[in-house]
Amino acid sequence: MKVRDSSAAHTLGEYVDPLPRIGHRASADGADRGTGDGLVTAGSLGGDESLDDRVPFLARLESEDRSALLSLGRELSFTTRTVLLRQSEPSSHVLIVTHGWTKVTAAAANGYEALLALRGPGDIVGESAALTGRPRSATVTALEPVRTVALVREHFRDFLARSPAVSFALLGLTSDRTRAADRRRLEFASMSVRERFAALLLDLARTNGRRTEEGIELSVPLSKQELAGSVGASREMVQRLLKELRERDAVLTGRRTMVILRMDVLRRIARG
């Protein structure tokens, strides 16, 4: 882990507001178009556009509030596969991701590890433990080189106390994440593993997809085990499902890479 103990105000220049990643933009003829940089939008895939839980924390704040909040912290950089926050440990700080992607996981008593969420640029992690004073409920790990701004718990709480707009933004984020978790529990109860896996790939394409000549490349490097943990399946089951999708010319796969070729195939599977 590399640490730079300096003011984080200048990280705003590196932070790119990720709202266009999930935006919906239609052309004059009514057809959906991707963004100019190749990022796939929810509308361009014809999927669920109610993705409020995907709007990162920083994107919900006014620029003045963003600057003030980030100026309170210091930069921390993490290498790939480094743990940023660990489950069950006491909370001393929160992290705001400014570059790169992380995974949020929780381990059960029997050792099974579930992938709960992905957090990227503009997202905040560790805030629940910081606000409640309880041990951390999940582990956050870097999927690639990650840069963050770390804020001491007391400084973060004091800032919220004197910044109602930021407090309401955080409350809105918490509400959206809770609603997303409720949707996920419903999916687990009503869908087969095969259907959940197809729905997961569709979701990743909407939020982390990039158009290429071959298809939609998933920009977050997830292993088969991590994909399995996201849908409550075994690694072997995910291997079988990927084999089926490859045979149907729906996906191309490599080491921690995947390109979706046939969104329509995934939609049909997800609908059951």
| Structural domains of the chain, with CATH | 2-18+56-188 (2.60.120.10), 192-271 (1.10.10.10)
Mean per-residue pLDDT, 26-41:
34
pLDDT tens-digit series, residues 185-234: 888 789 999 999 999 999 899 888 889 999 999 988 888 999 998 898 99
Residue 65 has pLDDT above 50, yes or no: yes
| Long-range CB contacts for residues 16-20, cutoff 8 Å, separation at least 24 | 16/121, 17/58, 17/59, 17/122, 18/56, 18/59, 18/120, 18/121, 18/122, 19/55, 19/59
Task: Give the confidence band of 63 by pLDDT, cuts at 50, 70, 90.
Answer: very high
Residue 91 has pLDDT above 80, yes or no: yes
User: Could you tell me which residue, 234 or 11, shows the higher pLDDT?
Assistant: 234
CA distance 59 to 69: 13
Mean pLDDT of the chain: 83
Beta bridge partners of 99: 147
Residue 7 has pLDDT above 60, yes or no: no
Residue bearing tokens 């809770």: 178
> What pLDDT is recorded for position 136?
96
Task: Give the confidence band of 51 by pLDDT, cuts at 50, 70, 90.
Answer: low
Residue 27 has pLDDT above 80, yes or no: no
Question: Hey, what amino acid is at 223?
Answer: S
Question: Hey, what amino acid is at 186?
Answer: L
Lowest-pLDDT choice from 103-117, 134-148, 158-172, 239-253: 103-117
What HEC string does 28-52 produce?
CCCCECCCCCCECCCHHHCCCCCCH
> What pLDDT is recorded for position 29?
31
Task: Give the confidence band of 248 by pLDDT, cuts at 50, 70, 90.
Answer: very high
Are 56 and 67 a contacting pair, CB within 8 Å? no
